[in-house]
Amino acid sequence: MEWLNYHHLLYFYTVAREGSVTKASEVLRLAQPTLSGQIRKLEDSLAEKLFVREGRNLALTEVGRMVYRYAEEIFTLGREMQDALRGRPTNRPAKLLVGISDAVPKIVCHRLLKTALDLEDPVELVLHEGKTNGLLAALAVQEYDMVLTDAPLGPPLRVKAFNHSLGGCGIGFFGEPALAKRHRRSFPEGLDDAPMLLPTSNTTLRHSLDRWFESVGVRPNPVAEIEDTALMKVFGQHGTGIFAAPIVVADEIRKSHGVHLVGSTEEVREEFFAITVERRITHPAVAAIADAARDGFLD
């Protein structure tokens, strides 16, 4: 059986935390060549590169980021053990590691995840945003407890994971007050030739909107395609165009961005899913989120 050299792991962890061999050598009081050599031994034992050079700095590789997270857990637990032996309370909250698809609106994320923060036992949220496929790949090696998406896991992705529906809602169309007033009089016909901010073509919402526009005989004037939902709202706030967002968070959108509702439809729905590697959810915070969703708090 191969044993992990925890001295080497500590050296790696310190370099990653400090951002350079120079700073880490000062913290550890080791010569830089010695420190670099120990990290190379760790890389050799793992058969993986942990750092890449970016100019004068070191950056973690994808494997390096994973090893860093484990190292952080290991050394945090070590400190807790020492505290416990000294009779100190640890009071360390459980962690909920969540990957969030960049297609999921930030306000919806907050509403979903707030349930975990309201639990009697405290939970520390660790949130990472990214592309769905990359997040699901990380989920497969248990880097996350769950991934939040706006679409269920499909057959083409060879990831052993399970979909847990968190519910959904219709969508509303929002715009800067003067723009909203011009186009709300006869909804949805008023959207014909209206300046429109659309999600990019790789999103589930965009496909649903295109089908709906065709079914109601409306041809909006697309002035921009924006992947990031928060950026889309900023453009909408400044009058660039009308944008679509989940109707369930209409009040928050109106207050935070100063926009008005043009109209809404239930024929286009945004659905949200928690994807986990477990068929039956065991993490208490994930279970609380799923239970709240079953109570219909997004409907």
Is residue 299 assigned to a domain? no
Tokens coding 94: 């459980």
pLDDT value of position 92: 65
Q: Which of 85, 109, 137 lies at the terminal end of a domain, its last residue? A: 85
Return d(Cα 116, Cα 194) in angstroms, integer: 40
Quote the CA–CA distance of 65 and 249 in Å, as a whole number: 34
Rounded CA-CA distance 233/244 in Å is 9
Half-sphere CA count of 169, side-chain side, radius 13 A? 18
Strands (E), the chain: 51-54, 57-60, 94-101, 123-130, 146-149, 162-175, 195-198, 221-225, 242-246, 260-276
pTM (global) more than 0.75? no
Name the domain count of the chain. 3
CATH of residue 249's domain is: 3.40.190.10
Do 200 and 258 belong together in one domain?
yes
Joined tokens for residue 261: 């509702």
Question: So what's the pLDDT on residue 221?
Answer: 96
Same domain, 145 and 278: yes
Say if residue 77 is in the same domain as residue 98: no
Spatial separation of the C-alpha atoms in residues 121 and 279, rounded to whole Å? 24
Say whether pLDDT at 181 is over 70.
yes
Half-sphere exposure of 84 (CA within 13 A, CB side): 9
As a whole number, mean pLDDT of residues 40-59 equals 87
* Residues 133 and 280 placed together within one structural domain of the fold: yes
Q: Is-contact 5 45, C-beta < 8 A?
A: yes
Q: Do 118 and 234 sit in the same domain of this protein? A: no
Residue 74's domain is classified under what CATH number? 1.10.10.10
Same domain flag for 76 and 114 = no
- In this structure, the answer to whether residues 33 and 122 fall within a common structural domain is no
- The pLDDT confidence band at residue 1, using thresholds 50, 70 and 90, is very low
User: Interhelix angle for 250-257 vs 106-117, to 10°?
Assistant: 110
Name the DSSP letter for residue 152: P
Res 88: pLDDT: 57
Residues counted in the chain = 299
Same domain, 145 and 194: no
Residues 131 and 279 in one domain: yes
Taking only the tens place, the pLDDT of each residue in 239-289 is 999 999 999 889 999 999 999 999 999 999 999 999 998 888 888 888 888
pLDDT: which is higher, 34 or 297: 34
Q: Which two tokens stand for residue 178?
A: 């003067």
Mean of the per-residue pLDDT values of the chain: 87
C-alpha–C-alpha distance, residues 283 and 147, integer Å: 13
Tell me the mean pLDDT in the region 206-235. Answer: 94
Residue range 203-213: average pLDDT? 93
Residues 142, 225 within the same domain: no
Q: Please state which of the ranges 41-50, 220-229, 248-257, 289-298 shows the lowest mean pLDDT.
A: 289-298
pLDDT of 58 reads 84
Q: Which structural domain range is residue 19 located in?
A: 6-85
Distance of CA 81 to the CA centre of its chain: 31
Measured CA to CA, the distance from residue 146 to residue 285 in angstroms comes to 10
* Same-domain status, 276 and 264: no
Q: Which of 55, 85, 115 is the C-terminal boundary of a domain? A: 85
Whether residue 1 is contained in a domain is answered as: no
Residue 119 to residue 255: CA distance in whole angstroms? 27
* Per-residue pLDDT, 258: 95
**Residue 240 is assigned to a structural domain of this protein:** yes
282 and 145 belong to one structural domain: yes
Give backbone dihedrals phi and psi of 153, rounded to 5 degrees, phi first. -65, 125
Residues 180-209 have a mean pLDDT of: 92
Query: Is the predicted pLDDT of residue 296 greater than 80, yes or no?
Result: no
Residue 276, in any domain of the structure: yes
